[in-house]
Amino acid sequence: MNVALKPTPTFSPMRVEDLEQVSAIEKTIYDFPWTIGNFRDSLNAGYSGWICSIHHEIVGYCVMMMAVGEAHILNISIASTWQRQGLGEALLCYLMNIARERHCDRMLLEVRPSNVVARHLYEKNGFVQIGMRKGYYPALIGREDAIIFECLL
């Protein structure tokens, strides 16, 4: 019997040296990716950036802002070849633990209504919709709304 094992990720703080690889992944998974400058600015602003690796290969990343008892996930992404293997959930749970350790009471994020897979992941992990931002995201035609999700920690 051949049993496929889920990969075991490791997490480490995002460094400036990681930004080329992070940006390369970002460009392959989004029509409107963050620029390397967006990531650099986030790190320079003191936001919490994290890398998800498998066997020393960067396969995912995230950027989270924490202030006044709130954590706000600004970007959480897994490379397309590594999606649907539990890594997004592992990274999300890692972020939730960091936020709890830093005494955050709640976590917020925005997600496109069209991103059904991500919405399901967030709902599965205790997030509930608390609002909508009209025309928040650029889209191939016009703009797309953002669902605002919250999870009480």
What are the residues whose beta carbons fall under 8 Å from the beta carbon of 130, sequence distance 6 or more? 148, 149, 150
CA distances from 5 to 25, 86, 136 (A): 24, 11, 38
pTM above 0.85, yes or no: yes
Nearest of 84, 108, 76, 105 to residue 11 by alpha carbon: 76
- Spatial CA neighbour of 55 closest among 17, 9, 5, 117: 9
Report whether CATH 3.40.630.30 matches the domain 10-152: yes
- Full 3-state SS string of 64-120: EEEECCEEEEEEEEECHHHCCCCHHHHHHHHHHHHHHHCCCCEEEEEECCCCHHHHH
Q: What is the pLDDT of residues 78-118, one digit of tens each?
A: 999 999 999 999 999 999 999 999 999 999 999 999 999 99
* Mean pLDDT across 55-73: 97
State mean pLDDT over 59-78.
98
Give me the pLDDT at residue 121, please. Answer: 97
Q: What is the pLDDT of residue 5?
A: 65
pLDDT in tens, 33-60: 999 999 999 999 999 999 999 999 999 9
**Residue-wise pLDDT tens digits, 12-39:** 999 999 999 999 999 999 999 999 999 9
Percent of the chain residues past pLDDT 70, beyond the cut: 97
Query: Band of the pLDDT at 4, cuts 50, 70, 90?
Result: low
Q: Residue ranges of the domains in the chain?
A: 10-152
Sequence-separated (6 or more) residues with CB below 8 Å from residue 70: 104, 105, 106, 107, 108
What residues are labeled active site?
Answer: 110, 122
Enter the tokens of residue 83.
Answer: 């999606």
* Strand 106-111 versus strand 70-78 pairing type: parallel
